Amino acid sequence: SLTVGVLALQGGFSEHLDLLRTAAHHISSTDAASKTDFTLLEVRTEEQLARCDALIIPGGESTTISFVAAQSGILEPLRDFVKVQKRPTWGTCAGLILLSDEANATKKGGQELIGGLGVRVHRNHFGRQIESFEANMTLPFLDDQGAQAGFPGVFIRAPVVEEILATNDSRPPVEVLAKLPGRLNKMKPGVSQANTKDDSGDIIAVRQGNVLGTSFHPELTKDARIHVWWLKQILGQQ
Ligand code: GLN
């Protein structure tokens, strides 16, 4: 059995739980080899975190999430979960920021991060006037589930990975899983077509060992393909 938690301090945690439920049902009903029982839970305490085999950190406001995490004493356990126990952890948007080793300085100064991805993110990369947009993306890593059917990429005051940091530790290399096409770097609001095979643009999905980060919010769509892909990877690793 696999226990998957969603950090439920702030942001889109219930949306992630909905898609995890869909994905778990999909895997149980289509994958004959998988007899896995999934347990899904909201995580607010160190005790709840300790029950998890894997964790999602949702989108929301990264400064709020890290402030509440520090106040409630779960920040250090989260660092241990990701970096010492190396359990599978996926962050979307604010979650990507929290899972990065560095975030660019903001007006209010730095913020406490969990870390785990050897990258520096640029918060609110697409600026204020174009706070959100949706791009129909081709995600090559979804190939076993039909990457050709575009994935609805929802970007809300989204970060991008602006630099992959040189690490002198024993972590595996950072893999770039998807980029926005260069022509979308200065995107206007609205729906655009994005083909992430054009790799001249901003990095919007990375993985390093047990840690996955995406700039966009699959949890704000009905598309569970990334959740299915992530869960299947975890099952394969076990
Ligand atoms: N801009 C937010 C932050 O810095 C992230 C936005 C989001 O998660 N949608 O935390």
Q: How many domains does the chain have?
A: 1
ipTM, interface predicted TM-score of the complex = 0.93
Catalytic residue among 93, 122, 125, 227: 93
- How does residue 182 score in pLDDT terms, banded at 50, 70 and 90? low
- Asked whether residue 130 carries a pLDDT value surpassing 80, the answer given is no
Q: How far apart are CA 69 and CA 61, in angstroms?
A: 12
User: How high does pLDDT run on average in the chain?
Assistant: 87
Residues lining ligand 1, Cβ inside 6 A: 59-62, 93-94, 97, 123-124, 156-157
**Hey, what amino acid is at 230?**
W
Ligand 1 center to residue 63 CA distance, Å? 9
Q: Which of 209, 188, 205, 208 is nearest to 196 (CA)?
A: 205
Binding positions for L-glutamine: 60-62, 123, 156-157
Q: Following DSSP, what letter does each residue of 114-143 receive, concatenated?
A: ---EEEEEETTTT-STT-EEEEEE--GGGG
> pTM of the entire structure?
0.90
Ligand 1 center to residue 121 CA distance, Å? 11
pLDDT digits (tens, 9 = 90+) for 47-102: 999 999 999 999 999 999 999 999 999 999 999 999 999 999 999 999 999 999 99
Beta-bridge mates of residue 160: 122
- How does residue 195 score in pLDDT terms, banded at 50, 70 and 90? very low
As a whole-number percent, the residues of the chain with pLDDT over 70 amount to 84
Q: Which of 154, 166, 155 is nearest to 102 (CA)?
A: 166
Q: Which of 25-34, 48-57, 68-77, 158-167 is the least confident region?
A: 25-34
Active-site residue flag, 93: yes
Cα–Cα distances in Å, from 96 out to 30, 51, 107, 121, 184?
30, 22, 20, 8, 20
Which domain, by its residues, includes 130?
Answer: 2-237
pLDDT, position 142 = 86
pLDDT, position 25 = 93
Residue 106 belongs to a domain with what CATH number? 3.40.50.880
Ligand 1 center to residue 123 CA distance, Å? 7
